Structure 1
Amino acid sequence: MAPIGVLQAAHACEIFLKARLAQEHPILIFESLPKSTAECVNKTTGLLDFESLLEKGHTIAYSELPEKVWAATGKKINNIKLYNDFGKLRNSIQHFAAPNRDVSLLTSHFIYEVIDPFINSEWGMCAMDYCDDSEQYEYLIPILAKRNVYFTVSPRMYGGLNELTRLIADGTTKYQREMILRGRLTGLV
């Protein structure tokens, strides 16, 4: 996975966290808002003009999102250290240069150990269901198993526990046990 994957994963996480805040109230995603001056007010409703909000409003920074989500929803981000470290990597790539190392393992951990638990707990989604390989799980799951990257097992996975067991065969014994337990917990039969 190229460094662009880091940018995409961080951006996806940011969007998910802001979407959750917006479910509570759309204004929560903003750090600062336009002032109630005449040019920012809709003449008909007397409310903040949407265009002004887009032009002059500033949304919450990536680094502040976990605390804002917790304050608004009570939901804490899994592995906050990984979240913060990944944010620093994202900033490095975005503003300076890509590191001279493979970032694919870290990106996999971030997607499946930070984003995946969040979207699962908030909307019942599983990241593995959005892999666009020709064979949805055939390549993804063995790679995650080799890397010992834990993920939420989708109840929609075809083949049940037998298929999961086959696909995670390259993981450690401890990893295999944990993933089979996760499969049972999500109702994979």
Structure 2
Amino acid sequence: MHESLREIPGRILETGLAALAQANMHAVFCDPGNEHWERISVLNAALAGELVLKAIIAREHPLLIFRDLFGLDDTTSDDLDINLLIKKGRTYNFERLPNLLWVAVGERIPDSKLYEEIQKVRNSIQHFCVPEHPDLRMLSLEFIYKNIDPLLEKHFDMCAIDFHEDHMIGYDYIVDCLISREILFNIPKEFEVHKINLEDRFSSCTSVYRSEMQKRIQNKADN
């Protein structure tokens, strides 16, 4: 294997995390004039999911994400490098990635129904128009924290709340939004919030959600 091919998973993941940072931002914040952010959050959440999946698959072998391996053959060269892949490579689309994950890694997508839902909504937004949907922000957050977040933790020891564009406050408002919507999320090392009171926020949640999140926070603190 050409040494440059080993860079592919990291390159893909880097862009996926950038999309995730924007998805978190667009799904949580809403200011006058930024009403379009809710639909952009869907596009960025789907893109982040696509790239995280490709990064996981590419760690098994970088060429697994490419649809037509025979089309990558360059008779003028004895080597296959990343520049040729950039020029000629065609990767699998969003729809096929859960199947490819299973074949390459032996793992199922955490929430396949949610994956299918965001795929349909994303396609509508991207290719035609915004569909009728009760809560696009909720869709983005659920997709991030039921699919991307567990995959990031398992394969890269990362947590989705760490990736955002609020460089002044951090992930406080993301955490606040997730708790208010009772969406479970993984806890990073040295978890700390400053702008919200966790006990106050948890007091209005169901006991099942509160118990699970408090257990996650305590387990991370103990480790």
How far has the Cα of 1:84 moved from its partner? 1.4
Question: Relative CO higher for 1 or 2, CA cutoff 8 Å, sep ≥ 6?
Answer: 2
Structure 1: gaps of 5 or more residues? none
Which residue does the alignment assign to 2:163? 130
Contact between 1:145 and 1:168, CA under 8 Å: does it hold in 2? yes
1:149 is aligned to 2:183: yes
How far has the Cα of 1:148 moved from its partner? 1.1
What one-letter code is carried by the residue in structure 1 that aligns with 2:75? V
Comparing 177-186 with 102-111, greater Cα deviation is found at 177-186
In structure 2, do the counterparts of structure 1 residues 165 and 180 end up closer, same or farther at CA, with 3 Å as the change threshold?
A: same
Contact between 1:34 and 1:53, CA under 8 Å: does it hold in 2? no
1:54-73 matches, cutoff 5 A:
54-73=86-105
1:104-149, CA deviations, whole angstroms, 9 ceiling, x for partnerless residues? 0111101111100000000110011123333223222121111111
Report the aligned-residue RMSD: 2.3
How far has the Cα of 1:96 moved from its partner? 0.9
Contact between 2:52 and 2:152, CA under 8 Å: does it hold in 1? yes
**Separation in structure 2 between the aligned mates of residue 166 and residue 158 of structure 1, nearest angstrom:** 15
Structure (1 or 2) with the greater helix fraction = 2
How far has the Cα of 1:36 moved from its partner? 6.6
How far has the Cα of 1:75 moved from its partner? 2.5
| Alignment TM-score, normalising by the size of structure 2 | 0.72
How far has the Cα of 1:63 moved from its partner? 1.3
Aligned length: 182
| Alignment TM-score, normalising by the size of structure 1 | 0.84
Comparing 56-65 with 109-118, greater Cα deviation is found at 56-65
1:121 is aligned to 2:169: no
**Separation in structure 1 between the aligned mates of residue 91 and residue 187 of structure 2, nearest angstrom:** 33
**Separation in structure 1 between the aligned mates of residue 147 and residue 200 of structure 2, nearest angstrom:** 25
Which residue does the alignment assign to 2:202? 168
* 1:30 paired residue among 62, 66, 69: 66
1:186 is aligned to 2:215: no
Structure 2: gaps of 5 or more residues? 1-26, 28-37
SS state of the match for residue 71, structure 2?
coil
1:17 is aligned to 2:56: no
Which has the larger Rg?
1
**Separation in structure 1 between the aligned mates of residue 190 and residue 206 of structure 2, nearest angstrom:** 24
